[in-house]
Structure 1
Amino acid sequence: MKHEKTVPYKKKALKEFGRELWKQRELQLMVVPALIALLLFSLFPLFGLQIAFKDYKMNSGIIGSAWVGLKHFKAFFTDPNVMPVLWNTIGLSVIKAFFTIPLPIIFALLLNEVTHTHFKKLAQTISYFPYFLSWSVISLMAITWLSPQNGFINGFLTSTGILEKPYFFLGEPKAFWGISIALDIWKNLGYSSIIYLAAMSNVDQEVTEAAVVDGAGRLRRIIHVTMPAILPTVMILLIINIGNLLRGGSNFDISYNLMNSLNQPRAEILDTYVLKTGISMARFSYATAIGLLQSVVASVLLISANAISKATTGESYF
């Protein structure tokens, strides 16, 4: 009897779902291009992952290439060039996360407290502008600014006596991380703060007013009212950053555009190494194996970070 009642109920629910879908057909059609893009660029390429387990030959194709199992994964773990590259990748990502997560929050908190509308708009416009410049343009600007011949940074440092003679920033491996971090902060600080400003706009004004009535100063309101309200947003972005520890992101753009034979020991990261071995050296299977490992590690890090968040704050985000 229970089964007989369930079947008509399911049919009724499906009919109602179809009727509702038809009512929203114009809106649903807007999703179709996104679904097609998802299929073309995210799902269909998964078929090519089997290259990581084969000795891929272009004339044989993916299916015709010989199966070699974990050969390319073993080659990755025994490659003497991998450890410096991993160190650069993880080191840059961790240090950047240390700066690029709190600084936009601090900047957003400062902007949120500004009451002068014109100054606030001016500060936002100036801070957002670098985000809309491509990394290629920013890299060319950095090369010009840091030039030992006519760069204004060297000119300023030598004229003020900080440096005795011009410093070849892009030719010194130990200077590359600082350049990469500084460029990333300059480009993304303002735009990243938009997310936190949006979260701050949802702060209950009655709670803020109650805090003012209770005598809470500006700093106390930030700590006890604003920060708890944006904490979920902070945690989500922190989890995403943790998942991207082995991913290039802006690190790839900066390293690809500013790396040279002099700074390569500190500029080479995993994504540029994959590009070099996969495209320049035609080691397609080896590069695919590294990319697959990156995805697996990123998934593990995301799940682990989410589990830690759930254990410590009680919040789970997926």
Structure 2
Amino acid sequence: MSQLKTITRPTQGKRGLFRELWRQRELQFMALPALIALVLFSFLPLFGLQIAFKDYKMNMGMFGGEWVGLKHFSAFFTDPNVMPVLWNTIGLSVIKAFFTIPLPILFALLLNEVIHAPFKKVVQTVSYFPYFLSWSVISLMAITWLSPQSGFINNFLTSVGILKEPYFFLGEPNAFWGISIGLDIWKNLGYSSIIYLAAMSNVDQEVTEAAVIDGAGRFKRMLHVTLPAILPTVMVLLIINIGNLLRGGSNFDISYNLMNSLNQPRSEILDTYVLKTGISMGRFSYATAIGLLQSLVASILLISANGISKVTTGESYF
């Protein structure tokens, strides 16, 4: 009898699973498009990684071409143009993370303390609006604003005496990082703060009231009550940013739209280099090899950051 139960138990479990799926069929059908998109755009392309180990030719198809092993990976590490590109990619990502992680937290903390509701809504609307503009539009706006002939920034700086003559911002390599970081902060500051504001809405009000009774002012409540409550959210976003150090994020959009022959020494990043050298020149295997290396490094950084978080805070997020 016990053997019979052991044999029928998996079947009963499967029937129970299918019965539950059928009971939730409306929800499952709603999730189906996302699942199909995940398979089509995330899992199926993994078969194309074999191109990185071949001399791929378009007329031979994905499964054609001669196997060359690590030839394209070796070409990447011996390419003299790679080091400046890596420096730009990592440097921009690290500096942006230094600003784009704490500034939304600070903005959300300050916004959370605003009592006047209409003013708070206006500030939120104004700060969120740039996020909904595409990087192409923002890049065109930046080109117009920074123009040495008609840009209002040059006109303002020369009128107040900071500059003696108009400055060609987009033609100066050393100015590009500042422009890229400034545009990124302006576009994403308000929208990024939404996550932290949502986390702050879950702060235990009894703890806040207890802090008020104990005589804690607003600054101390932010520092000792609100900030510790949103620390898990901060750590998750920090880990994601560390994992994307070589991916560049918005760096690609800005560099692709604002890069020119004058600022290229500081605006060329790994993704634009892959686009130019790997795809525009038909070196598809080389581009795939670089993309695979980026994914491997991102995975290592992500796991390392999660391990550091577990050691330092006792929290692991995957």
1:240-295 alpha-carbon deviations (Å, 9 max, x no partner): 00000000210000000000000000000000000001221111000100000000
Show the 5 A alignment for 1:73-222: 73-222=73-222
Looking at structure 1, the residues matched to 76 and 15 of structure 2 have their Cα atoms a distance apart, in angstroms, of 54
TM-score where L is the length of structure 2: 0.98
Looking at structure 2, the residues matched to 247 and 255 of structure 1 have their Cα atoms a distance apart, in angstroms, of 13
Looking at structure 1, the residues matched to 248 and 310 of structure 2 have their Cα atoms a distance apart, in angstroms, of 27
Give the CA deviation at 1:298.
0.2
Give the CA deviation at 1:4.
4.5
1:34 aligns with 2:34: yes
Give the CA deviation at 1:7.
2.8
Give the 4+ runs in structure 1 shifted more than 4 A: 1-4
Which segments of 5 or more consecutive residues in structure 1 lack a partner in the other structure?
Answer: none
TM-align CA RMSD: 1.0
Looking at structure 2, the residues matched to 141 and 6 of structure 1 have their Cα atoms a distance apart, in angstroms, of 69
Matched residues, percent identical?
A: 83
Equivalent pairs, count = 318
Looking at structure 2, the residues matched to 139 and 176 of structure 1 have their Cα atoms a distance apart, in angstroms, of 13
Structure-1 residue corresponding to 2:310: 310
TM-score where L is the length of structure 1: 0.98
Looking at structure 1, the residues matched to 189 and 267 of structure 2 have their Cα atoms a distance apart, in angstroms, of 22
Structure-1 residue corresponding to 2:235: 235
Closer/same/farther in 2, CA of residues 289 and 29 from structure 1, 3 Å limit = same
Amino acid of the structure 2 residue aligned with 1:275: L
Give the CA deviation at 1:3.
5.6
Structure-2 residue corresponding to 1:284: 284
Looking at structure 1, the residues matched to 180 and 285 of structure 2 have their Cα atoms a distance apart, in angstroms, of 30
Give the CA deviation at 1:48.
0.7
1:79-117 alpha-carbon deviations (Å, 9 max, x no partner): 000000000000000000000000000000000000000
Looking at structure 1, the residues matched to 45 and 249 of structure 2 have their Cα atoms a distance apart, in angstroms, of 20
Show the 5 A alignment for 1:293-308: 293-308=293-308
Amino acid of the structure 1 residue aligned with 2:212: V
